[in-house]
Amino acid sequence: MSQYPILAFLAGAGRDDPGRDGAGRTLRDILAFDDAHIEGVHDYIQWCFPLHEASLAVPGAPVLSRAEAEAIRNDPAALSGLRAALGRMTRFYAETEGWLRSHDHNHLRITRILSAVSDLLGPEAAAEFHAFVTARNAGAGAPVNGPSLRYWDNALRRA
């Protein structure tokens, strides 16, 4: 296994020997998930959008080290994979309505996405995703609870 398994996973879509997540899936496998899989499977998001702290929802999920984060930031293939994952999740949130309610596990996913994207792709990419999800929420009558919205805002400020 690579010294940097998250980097190998994110960069793997264009390589002969792609990295795999803890369930043996490649990024390409996850990008091909239909919306039901995106909604119902809970152990891929930590690989697509890694953080520097352990996941409370998925014990054993990878934790991003500072060195691996720097390696991802300097690897065009890994950044391309991260952008592809962001695009897939943006499409999911654009095409589905289930997360547009007061409380939903997707609110935690959105916080994770904002934090990881801000850290690895930069604050502009995170701000663009933030603007998208908050506009989507506003267009649905603003059903998302205030604490979730504050977490999303705070994820941008930590960058």
What's the pLDDT tens digit per position in 56-76? 889 889 999 999 999 999 999
Total domains, the chain: 1
For the entire predicted model, the pTM comes to: 0.95
3-state class (DSSP) for residue 80: helix
Rg (CA), the chain: 15
Residue 1 has pLDDT above 50, yes or no: no
Mean pLDDT of the chain: 94
DSSP letter, residue 13 = G
Which residue segment(s) compose the domain that 92 sits in?
Answer: 5-157
CB 109 within 8 A of CB 45: yes
Q: How far apart are CA 155 and CA 140, in angstroms?
A: 22
Inter-CA distances, 43 with 57, 110, 131, Å: 9, 15, 26
What count of other Cβ atoms lies within 10 Å of the Cβ of residue 31? Answer: 16
